[in-house]
Amino acid sequence: MSVAKPINYGGQAVIEGVMIRGRRTIGLACRKPDGGIYRYREALSSPLLTSKVARAPFVRGVFVLWESLRYGMRMLMRSADVQLAAQDAKPSGAASSAFMFVGLAFALVLFIGVPYLATGFLRSALPSTLALNIAEGVLRLALLLGYLVAISALPDIRRVFAYHGAEHMTIHAFEHGDPLDAAHVTPYPTAHPRCGTAFLLFVVVIAIAVFAFVPRVNLIVDLVVRLVLVIPVASISYEVLRLGAGHERNPLMRLAVAPGLLLQAITTRRPDGPMIEVAIASLEEALAGDAAA
């Protein structure tokens, strides 16, 4: 079977499972309450498949980010459905949309609003706008690290992080041309240079540089400007992530991706055999869908 370039494959952990995005297919696999594996695939509906403009550098990152949120949330809710099947209960579509909205609102308040408001109290100590904005960025970075450390202490999140590790290990094996079985997947590391955790770190760090020279006008204007600037910051971060992942042997690129790999010590865990089996099933679904397409 001929497959696409491995660099096109990546995914995320969901509840008791893994989602893999292929070139044209989303593959999902979850461990069911009865011990079996639930498998699901669907065709991607994406401008990235049909539009050269959407695939252009510094544009594609916006589409990738939005689609990662959209498909990630859908597959997350589907994985929740699998776990709730034994109780014959399923969240409604309205509940899924509300969950996504609340999650985005929480992230914006925590990582945009809180650092800005907190550094506003430092105006007397830091009269320079440049110094205030840099302090805001450093606080945002500290909040991200603290948040990840805090949630990693929760047992359910630790299981998600283990599936996250299984996803990375499976992608590593695939990219190296190894057979997709536990024996070949297990030796690989849980960190991967194209991880979403590394992307978030790039976003926060690049935002420090971009936001540093933005003047402070008033609360409303400043927050709106920061929200708007998230789009170009995410686009730049995506290009840096691709560049680093595509040139891992370059010493400068290795240095650039190293912090993201270190941060994954928090957001990944070594998975057990059944978790690896689920991650492999997810990739198999994506590969099968792409082959059929």
The CA-atom distances, in angstroms, between 158 and each of 12, 146, 210, 220 are: 14, 16, 33, 38
**Structure confidence at residue 114 as a pLDDT band (50, 70, 90):** very high
Do 91 and 80 touch, CB atoms closer than 8 A?
yes
Q: What is the mean pLDDT of the chain?
A: 90
Q: What is the pTM of this model?
A: 0.89
The per-residue pLDDT for 66 is 87
Give the confidence band of 1 by pLDDT, cuts at 50, 70, 90. Answer: very low
Please compute the mean of the pLDDT values over residues 200-219 and round it to a whole number.
94
Closest CA to 82 of 33, 19, 13: 33
- pLDDT tens column, 135-160: 999 999 999 999 999 999 999 999 99
The arithmetic mean of pLDDT across residues 65-74, rounded, is: 88
Cα 12 from Cα 237, distance rounded (Å): 18
Mean per-residue pLDDT for 181-202?
A: 94
Q: Is residue 198's pLDDT more than 70?
A: yes
**Model confidence pLDDT, tens digit, residues 168-188:** 999 999 999 999 999 999 999
DSSP secondary structure letter of residue 188:
S
Percent of the chain with pLDDT over 90: 72
- pLDDT tens digits along 226-268: 999 999 999 999 999 988 888 878 888 888 889 999 999 999 9
Bigger pLDDT: 101 vs 212: 212
Q: Which two tokens stand for residue 137?
A: 């960025």
**Mean per-residue pLDDT for 267-280?**
97
Tell me the average pLDDT across 88-116. 74
The band of 4, judged by pLDDT with boundaries at 50, 70 and 90, is very low
Q: How far apart are CA 277 and CA 256, in angstroms?
A: 32
pLDDT at 273: 96
